[in-house]
Amino acid sequence: MRRSRAAPVTPPSAPAPAPTPTPPPKPEEIDVPAKGAGTFVTAQAGGAKIGQGQRPVRYVVQVETGLDISPPQAAAEIADILAAPRGWTQNPAYAFQPVDAGQPHDLTVQIATPGTADALCWAGIKQDTEGEYNCEVPGGVVVNLKRWVKGSPTFDGPIHDYRALIINHEMGHFLGHTHATCAGAGQLAPVMMQQIKGLQGCVANAWPYDKKGALVTGPRAQ
């Protein structure tokens, strides 16, 4: 009796590789138009409270419509800055709470083109930001896209660190801190110093506290 041959076994196909997530554009790849739409996209960025304070500052993050910046990625970077060991939450009295669009919040962080930032800063506090600077307005922080992408010629460090300086400086205003100046040549510049306008002999610094946990401060600016 002739035996029948068994049907060949087809080996299982290998699973398709997971798609590679699209990395955020490098700073040199991000376009910085002089003026944008003037409207904003709010990041869906709710998350855990950052810091130990009993009354966290609730904030939302917005990016001007049409920019080469992902609102969720910007919100995640800002949350990382606020949670850093040398950030404001080194002080146990402070805390921050990222919230989603439509939720009650205390302030809005807006990343805007230079032209839109100028308009918002002038409308909010009558400050001429000259297409170059950030500002703190009632109920919000306005971040100039040029600074977010290109940093500052006075700051020698990674762009993430300069973004930390932006956020820590403007959040510092919201927490009640005023402008400070350099305490002495060779010392760390206070985060509340307007470092983009010159370091006065200090060393550029993005953080409110030093590595030992001491607040970096200096004489009050006039």
β-strands 107-112, 57-64: how paired?
parallel
Q: What is the pLDDT of residues 38-59, one digit of tens each?
A: 999 999 877 889 999 999 999 9
Return all residues near 192 (Cβ < 8 A) that are at least 6 apart: 169, 172, 173, 177, 178, 179, 180, 208, 217
What's the mean per-residue pLDDT of the chain? 89
Look at residue 14 in the predicted model and tell me its pLDDT.
Answer: 45
Q: Which residues contact 124 (CB under 8 A, 6 or more apart)?
A: 135, 137, 138, 140, 142
Residue 28 confidence (pLDDT)? 55
Residue 108 is predicted with a pLDDT of: 96
Binned at pLDDT 50, 70 and 90, residue 26 comes out as: low
pLDDT of residue 27: 56
Q: What is the pLDDT of residue 47?
A: 82
Residue 24: predicted pLDDT? 52
Model confidence at 73: pLDDT above 90: yes
Show the tokens assigned to 149.
């992408």
What is residue 7's predicted lDDT score, i.e. its pLDDT? 46
pLDDT 10s digits, 121-168: 999 999 999 999 999 999 999 999 999 999 998 898 899 999 999 999
Run of H or E residues at 165: helix 159-174
Q: What is the DSSP letter of 84?
A: S
Global pTM? 0.84
Residue 177 binned pLDDT confidence (cut-offs 50, 70, 90): very high
Q: Give per-residue pLDDT as tens, 82-129.
A: 999 999 999 999 999 999 988 999 999 999 999 999 999 999 999 999
